Amino acid sequence: MIKHREQRVCILVDVANMYHSAKNLYKKKVNFKEILKTAISGRKLIRAMAYVVKTESGEEGSFLEALSQQGFEVKSKELQIFAGGAKKGDWDVGLSIDAIKMGEKMDVIVLVTGDGDYIPLVQYLQNTKGCLVEVLAFQQTASGKLVEEADDFVNLSENKKYLIR
């Protein structure tokens, strides 16, 4: 896929998806700064948003600060804990709404996630908004259909620079 300097890019990061993928595959953390660089690829970055679910312990303060310093607009929400002890915390709907709103003004939407729940979003952005949609994720934990639907896919597993510690 051709990437040119004049393309307006919006990057949306499903932090929980990336965190768990890196932890389960490599027992390491994600280098979001390197991911941001790769996602921009020398183009015009309009917005970069990272979607985070806060933990019960609240230990992610310094992590959120680091994301912010790297150029991400951090959107966070509390983890929901239900009466039976079940926990839920995802940003699928919020991220999708932001992508649709941003799709009006962008040439490229970059999704940093391997979550197959975003397949209808990818199709909508391509067919209704005319956006190119790129996906960055770890191949082993990425939905094959998501990879197939994307206009471009970067396999983060191919380079150790996307991991820290």
Q: Give me the CATH number covering residue 158.
A: 3.40.50.1010
pLDDT at 13: 97
pLDDT at 74: 94
Q: What is the pTM of this model?
A: 0.93
pLDDT at 67: 93
Residue 3 lies in a domain: no
pLDDT at 12: 98
Range of the domain at 146: 8-164
List the chain pLDDT tens, one digit each, 165 residues.
Answer: 788 999 999 999 999 899 999 999 999 999 999 999 999 999 999 999 999 988 766 667 788 888 999 999 999 887 677 777 666 667 899 999 999 999 999 999 999 999 999 999 999 999 999 999 999 999 999 999 999 999 999 999 999 999 997
Residue 79 lies in a domain: yes
Residue 2 lies in a domain: no
Look at the chain and report how many structural domains it folds into: 1
Residue 1 lies in a domain: no
pLDDT at 88: 64
pLDDT at 25: 96
pLDDT at 37: 97
Q: Which amino acid is at 31?
A: N
Task: Name the token pair of 51.
Answer: 């979607």
Distance of alpha carbon 153 from alpha carbon 139, whole angstroms:
9
Residue 78 lies in a domain: yes
